[in-house]
Amino acid sequence: MDMKRRNLLKIAGMSAIAGVAAPSALNLLMKGNVQASSSAGHSDSPSDAHGEMPAEKPTGVRLGLAIDVKKFAENKGLAEKCVAACHQIHNVPDFGNPKDEIKWLWIEKFENLFPDHSHYKKNEELHQLPFLAVCNHCDDPPCVRACPTKATFKAANGAVIMDFHRCIGCRFCMAACPYGARSFNWRSPREKDANGKLKFIKDLNEKFPTRMRGVVEKCNFCAERLAENLPPKCVEIAASAQAMYFGDMNDPHSEISKVLKTKFTIQRKPALGTLPSVFYII
């Protein structure tokens, strides 16, 4: 075929324009659908992040946790008990040094949990309280966006959980999480001592697997217990002192909804817009 350079350039130019324009035009058409599906099930309409009322009534379950800090202060040792129980049933290893530390639930000082609150002329008592810190199970979790393998994902009930099988240990999620709620297994949790006993897991729960070296882990809102209609372990332990409330925040009749409606609560780093599902009653 005899084609002039001028014609060739014309065709090439036209196809380039068509190639660039077609996907964006398609995107425009599809946009309506995409937005609808991403906001279904949760109360995370875009306006929500700016403190406005959500446009439509949220549907589906969204689990939330409220921690009454004063109750933990009154019941000395309760917070430690919750942490120990959580770590025991999930075979969380205790490596005995802060560098390798793995934590699902831990005790933190006020100023570390709420760095964006004013600490000027602070209330002395507040800074002595034992604050339990846990994965916030955000409505818009940055870790899920960062995970390249979708090992961490948002479950239908609003909990952010991890599929340890899929974790490749890239730790993007740890960098993305603004709450430091994720831990990396630098060492194998199954290391043994000279007697062939596990060094780092003292009281093994054989119903729950361990992890392996190179896997990130975090609180899973006790997904395995929720399946059996049991509350998360920490909530169960704190139930005696009524120090923790857990339930579906989208259900106006649930205990947590009532607590959130009637009590003043604060969340960690609310300005980031991740919409944490863990609330602190001060």
Partner 1 sequence: MYDGGKIIVGLIIFAGLMTFPIWYNHGDAGAIPNVEKPKDVKECVKDTQYMRTTHMVLLNEWRDNVLREGNREKLKVGNKTYDRSLMNGCMVCHTSKEKFCDQCHLYASVKPYCWDCHFLPKETL
Task: Using CB under 8 A, list all residues that contact partner 1.
Answer: 153, 155-157, 161, 163-165, 190, 192, 196, 198, 204, 206-207, 209-212, 223-224, 227
Q: Nearest distance from residue 227's CB to partner 1, in Å?
A: 4
- Helices then strands, each counted (H, E), the chain: 9, 10
Comparing CA positions, the residue from 38, 158, 153, 147 lying closest to residue 46 is 38
What is the 8-class DSSP label of residue 22? H
Q: Nearest distance from residue 210's CB to partner 1, in Å?
A: 5
- Terminal CA-CA length for the chain: 81
Per the CB < 8 A criterion, the answer to whether 234 and 96 are in contact is no
Q: Nearest distance from residue 53's CB to partner 1, in Å?
A: 29
Our measurement of the distance from residue 119's CA atom to the centroid of its chain's CA atoms, rounded to an integer in Å, reads: 26
**CB-wise, 221 or 280, nearer to partner 1?**
221
**CB-wise, 12 or 208, nearer to partner 1?**
208
Q: Nearest distance from residue 88's CB to partner 1, in Å?
A: 15
Per the CB < 8 A criterion, the answer to whether 185 and 214 are in contact is yes
Q: Nearest distance from residue 156's CB to partner 1, in Å?
A: 6
**CB-wise, 36 or 227, nearer to partner 1?**
227
**CB-wise, 166 or 269, nearer to partner 1?**
166
Q: Nearest distance from residue 145's CB to partner 1, in Å?
A: 17
**CB-wise, 145 or 192, nearer to partner 1?**
192
- Torsion angle of C-alpha atoms 19, 25, 30, 32, degrees rounded to 10: 160
| Cα–Cα distance measured from residue 152 to residue 173, given in angstroms and rounded to the nearest whole number | 8
| Cα–Cα distance measured from residue 155 to residue 161, given in angstroms and rounded to the nearest whole number | 7
**CB-wise, 78 or 215, nearer to partner 1?**
215
